[in-house]
Structure 1
Amino acid sequence: MDLFGCMNVKGRSGTKSQSVKFFILGEEFNDDAKKVEVYKKSIDLIKHGSPRGVITPIFVTYCSRFSRMIVCYPYFDESLSDWLKRYKGGSSNLPYEIRIMIRNLLAAIEHQDINRLEDISPIVCVKSKRDNTMEVKVILLPVQSEQSSKAKWRTSFSSLLRKNMHQTWLEDKDFEAFLLMLESNEYTLENLMGHPVLQDGDSNGRLILDCFRETLTPAQHKELEEKLNVQKYDGGDWRLRLQGKTPLENMSKRSTAYPGHDFLWFARKTVAHFNENDAKFKNATVNRVPAANVIKDLYPGFISDLYKLSLEPQYLNRALG
């Protein structure tokens, strides 16, 4: 399928116009039976509408000039692959646009059959006319394909991300934990959308506060220690990573009052102080970056393991009860 071009199309009244883009389908769709399939699929996509993060056709027709079927879509600015080539961010954390893209695609899968998830070409970028922000969306093609099993779309989506995301993101232990969760049939779409790599600092802060409380029972503390071994994230003294971050160093020294779970106490208290104390503490501690994100960056993998623990019904019910 090739991009044909874009143009403004005026409505019947002549007072409104809409920017659109056309795609030319391959010769294999010139067969009468294939044409019928394309028409039926297009009508089905148009009828169901476009969930957030998805672009569906406006219309489809046969163009005698090109002797091909063409499909008309709302205008988009560029392909995701081109945007990724221009992206200059150096952080290992996923940028906002990519987090929203993944969440929107996962949400759309609940409502429509999205094929070719392993192919990045139908994923495009659309700029908002209101505030010039960019949103990543997937184009749904009116092309019949084999129905994918749940396991198939999971592995194909994971393959797309592994092949096309920046290497700095792929090297992040928490993003790898998300991809492994995506590839597993053990977790629901809701579980995937709630993963910390797709959340903001406030949501991850609430996760830390919910899972570690001063009122936890000895049994809960034992379970935390078994599932969240700080040696796994640091390989040594976790306090060494706080050197030069004075407010965090001071917080860590006070955690010795909680032997056996001092790192978890430190994580909770840091988030709580960030939420409750004045701007001076926030600025001095993390340069206005949410405390949960700082902890995530200092101790890769910790926030993902904590999230998996929160999904265990028995632990969550006891912790939040």
Structure 2
Amino acid sequence: MPFPYKDDITGAELVAEYAPFIKNKTILTTGVSPNSLGANYVETIAAGQPKLLILAGRDLTKVKQTAESISKAHPNVQTRVLQLDLSSFAAVRRAAAEVNSWDDVPAIDVLMNNAGIMAVPYKICEDGYESQLTCNHLGHFLLTNLIFDKVLASTDKRVVNVSSGGHWFSAIRYADINYDGGETYEKWNAYGQSKTANILFSIGLANKYGDRGVLAYSLNPGAIATTNLAGHLDFAPGGDLDSLARITRLTASPLGWMEKELLSLERGVATHIFASFDPVLKDHNGKYLLEKARVADYYVDPVHPHAISNVEADKLWELSVKAVGL
């Protein structure tokens, strides 16, 4: 199956293509509650016979449901659950310590930083940072760094950060990262800031550790028809979709949010799988990937310059190190 792939490529089709690269691998995925992209990702790649799927999430009851689904469909694939609350740096440190204590898991081949929240009401988390930036970026930044030796121990060494076309809505707001105690808060703008951070984090990883074999990517899975991510949104007139349309116009986003094609979970997860296993991507380290499993063309595709700057990647890395106390 040649790259680039057909527009309607599904995750299952890519797993069939990448089976030799998935077999016997260890993959840690965050955000795997049922009916999520993360759950669909791990359930789909299980068909490729990985050695171990580490399933991380805040609600262990939901995480175990996904583990049971995998075990039922693929009894030979091992799973392990991990309690991970990305809103708390102390909880992230506990989760990382648990992973590092597993002597029978010497390496992590793919770290899929998939978990996220979107357009939620204003909240400052216990460590002092706005919740979307904390859960979507800072928590993942801390986890990745704390278990990084296990990534380095792998021959694959892949880290994937799930971003969004919503990165267009905001650069990193260094002068007002917490929205002045909520006074300047706009939920879609804050979501955009966190999604820009996902892209810049991948660039930072590639720049700092590419010479050690680390491959890092960010991705936009596309607009997915049904996931948990948008379950809390108000779809009534004057609600969250109207505010989304407004910020789309205010930021001159070229993404056409209100007319955008909705993808099924099976098609939406294709870019996750592409980022995790495609061998051609070794020539595109640090890049932002787009829905339907393709590498973004920064001259043509809707990628904002504030999200792909090496200078911005360095600034965010410094901010993140200080924020999480590394």
What TM-score results when the alignment is normalised by the length of structure 2?
A: 0.21
What TM-score results when the alignment is normalised by the length of structure 1?
A: 0.21
* Rg (Cα) greater in structure: 1
Q: Which of structures 1 and 2 has the larger relative contact order (alpha carbons within 8 angstroms, sep 6+)?
A: 2
